[in-house]
Structure 1
């Protein structure tokens, strides 16, 4: 929704609430501003003007939610349910905006809007890597302990909350999450590997039966950051200090062992072309039956179980990410989307009421069941209806509880770029792992300490 559309909606809401506009004119102008007929009628009713009356009673405050893309239209259903229940009771009406397919496009939209101190969007869905950046720019309002107390936060996955925390405050509510998984062929592997060494040995043992032992995302893009984080975390290393985003910790023995392991895979258990792989190329190799192991996100689970498009249907399972060195626990990298409130919006309390609704059991269950998305409320993963519809949810809970965010930094875009460049150089054997980490350390120190 562009500022002009929001301004037009606010104008007609004010007019209908004061009784200065007929319902017909309201509906015509609402649809001209970009609302569908059903949403326009819903907004009219929330303002106290039914479809057969000409006056309003001043009941509703309209807020706008900009989400990421949802092809299932579950977000529209959630919005409609809120408007007909809590919204009517509290005088709040929510207008939902479908998001673009590109996260970069979404970030550009937000950046342009917030730099202009614009309030045309109240509730913003933001990627897990951006809460710190938005907080440092003072673009979002923090969620206080009185609004979301610790007793309530304990009912949610800790990793996503950690990803939304910066300088001791929570800057977004974790709505849904995503997590890296290790996929393995049950017809080739009897027991899933617990360590990266075990995976390497098992992958080698399958070569000759399949083309490749292990496929993952090694191209120079954000997916490589996730893969690198998972191996480093598994070895007990880190990239930035979790309690001090200006302290660089990546040039450590643990990170060096992790990167050496990744480099050793290229051209051995993994194809040389793995340095060009994104998520879907990896998945296609896997579904074609050409790999024993794959690292990917949960979306590949349902696709892989479809015998009409997968040669490995009923021949695979998923497991947590392995560990290495002296560690005993693997950690997946977290993806997902969070709900933040525009700092320039005057509708802060109404926005929080809508976010609070999306965090409750019913909305979280509907999101998991209908959209198939991994949500953040722990109880969802024990819900019989959810498990019946999507058996993967029964496997995800312990993996999600051990998952960790990518480096939390207000300079995340630059941090990610530096990780991609240096790790990719090592994978391509342009530099050795020690040199790559030394260069990455120098670049990160410059990035996190710059004004």
Structure 2
């Protein structure tokens, strides 16, 4: 919602509450501003303007939430429920804005708004890599212990909470997450590999004798490569940045050397040379067409691979946690996901928190899981029988999610990501040795974090 739209909406709300506007005129102008008919009617009721209202919610405060793109209508339903229950009781009305399909487009919109210290959007949906950056800029308000006590936070998955935490403050509340998984052909490999060495040797034992490729993953020069690299690195016990000091770069370590050398060794052996062009869907297509024993991908590939109308491997594969190696006893998935933050410039921060708190509660978390099959962040969702009956995959995800870790948490993350993509990709393409690539990456990252 642009500032001029917000101003027009505020104007008709004021007139409706004061009795200076008719119901029909309100609806017409709300539609002209850009609201859907359902949102316009809901807002009208909040203003006390329906013919069935006996006073309505005349003191309602309107807040605007910009979500990420949702094609399932789950967010619309959740907002409608909030407005008709908690919002009605507490005098809050939420207007939901459907987000763009491009994260870059959303980020540009947020940046323009917040640099102008505008609050045309009150509640922001943020990708997991942005809370630290927005928090460091003081663009979003921290969530205090009094709002969300530690005793409550502990009920949620630790990785997403960690990803929203920077310099000891929580800058957003995690609604939904995502995670990397290992897919394997159980008809070829009855037991999933526990270590990266096991995966490599097992892939060699079945490829090309029994199947075309051993392992497919995302090796193109883009954000997905960062996720793939840190998953192998974390699995070896390494880190990009020191977890206790984000100004200290630790990527050029023995663990980093082992992780990158292993990945370089996969290209052209257990993985096709073309893996350096793969993003999520090309790797999924190879696996789904029965041409690879193993695949790293996100949960979305599970339902598609299980659909016998389009998959050659329906019923022939399963998922497991990503492998580990070195000193680590468990693997660590990189997390994705979306988080709810409060615009630091909104005068309605308390009302924003009431809505975010509602989105964290079991009912809203379960609805996201059952209706949209989102991996929401409340841990009890993964033991809930209603959820498991509708989304059986959730029963396998909880132990994997509990060990999942965020990508490097830094206000400089976009620049860090570009540097990681560049140097890791150069190593995969044999344009630089693993040692030289990590040495150059270490130097580039150190310059970036030193300027934080």
Partner of 2:332: 331
CA offset digits 1:38-62 (Å, max 9, x no partner): 2111101111111467987632111
Change in 2 beyond 3 A, CA 1:375/1:57: closer
Partner of 1:32: 32
1:13 Cα deviation after fit: 1.1
Partner of 1:72: 72
1:209 Cα deviation after fit: 1.3
Contact residue 17 and residue 56 of structure 1 kept, 8 A: no
Deviates more, 1:321-330 or 1:228-237: 321-330
Deviates more, 1:4-13 or 1:78-87: 4-13
Q: Secondary structure at the match of 2:329?
A: coil
Change in 2 beyond 3 A, CA 1:57/1:172: closer
Contact residue 176 and residue 338 of structure 2 kept, 8 A: yes
Contact residue 57 and residue 88 of structure 2 kept, 8 A: no
Partner of 2:278: 277
CA distance in 2, matches of 1:66, 1:3: 13
* Runs (4+) off by over 3 Å: 51-57
Contact residue 180 and residue 295 of structure 1 kept, 8 A: yes
CA offset digits 1:224-266 (Å, max 9, x no partner): 0000000000000000111221111111001100000000000
Partner of 2:373: 372
Contact residue 132 and residue 409 of structure 2 kept, 8 A: yes
Which blocks of at least 5 consecutive residues in structure 1 are unaligned? none
CA distance in 2, matches of 1:318, 1:305: 12
CA distance in 2, matches of 1:171, 1:131: 6
CA distance in 2, matches of 1:54, 1:360: 30
Partner of 2:412: 411
Contact residue 22 and residue 54 of structure 1 kept, 8 A: no
Q: Secondary structure at the match of 2:65?
A: strand
Correspondence 1:348 to 2:363: no
Contact residue 223 and residue 278 of structure 1 kept, 8 A: yes
CA distance in 2, matches of 1:6, 1:242: 41
Partner of 2:105: 105
CA distance in 1, matches of 2:409, 2:254: 21
CA distance in 1, matches of 2:103, 2:210: 38
CA distance in 2, matches of 1:53, 1:204: 70
CA distance in 2, matches of 1:303, 1:186: 17
CA distance in 2, matches of 1:70, 1:85: 22
CA offset digits 1:333-387 (Å, max 9, x no partner): 0000000011111110111000000000000000000001000000000011111
Correspondence 1:175 to 2:175: yes
Partner of 1:16: 16
Q: TM-score, normalised by structure 2?
A: 0.98
Correspondence 1:286 to 2:276: no
Partner of 2:115: 115
Partner of 1:384: 385
Change in 2 beyond 3 A, CA 1:304/1:219: same
Partner of 1:83: 83
Q: Secondary structure at the match of 1:200?
A: helix
1:403 Cα deviation after fit: 0.3
Q: Where in structure 2 are the equivalents of 1:44-193 lying within 5 Å? A: 44-51=44-51, 58-193=58-193
CA distance in 2, matches of 1:111, 1:54: 42
Contact residue 221 and residue 421 of structure 2 kept, 8 A: yes
Correspondence 1:236 to 2:237: yes
Q: Secondary structure at the match of 1:35?
A: coil
Correspondence 1:5 to 2:5: yes
Deviates more, 1:196-205 or 1:43-52: 43-52
Contact residue 175 and residue 360 of structure 2 kept, 8 A: yes
Contact residue 364 and residue 375 of structure 1 kept, 8 A: yes
Q: Secondary structure at the match of 1:340?
A: strand
Which blocks of at least 5 consecutive residues in structure 2 are unaligned? none
Correspondence 1:423 to 2:421: no
CA distance in 1, matches of 2:444, 2:35: 47
1:103 Cα deviation after fit: 1.0
1:174 Cα deviation after fit: 0.4
1:145 Cα deviation after fit: 0.2
Q: Secondary structure at the match of 1:414?
A: helix
Contact residue 19 and residue 56 of structure 1 kept, 8 A: no
1:327 Cα deviation after fit: 1.7
1:107 Cα deviation after fit: 0.8
1:72 Cα deviation after fit: 0.6
Contact residue 221 and residue 420 of structure 1 kept, 8 A: yes
Q: State the number of aligned residues.
A: 451
1:25 Cα deviation after fit: 1.6
Q: Secondary structure at the match of 1:403?
A: coil
Correspondence 1:300 to 2:295: no
Partner of 1:401: 402
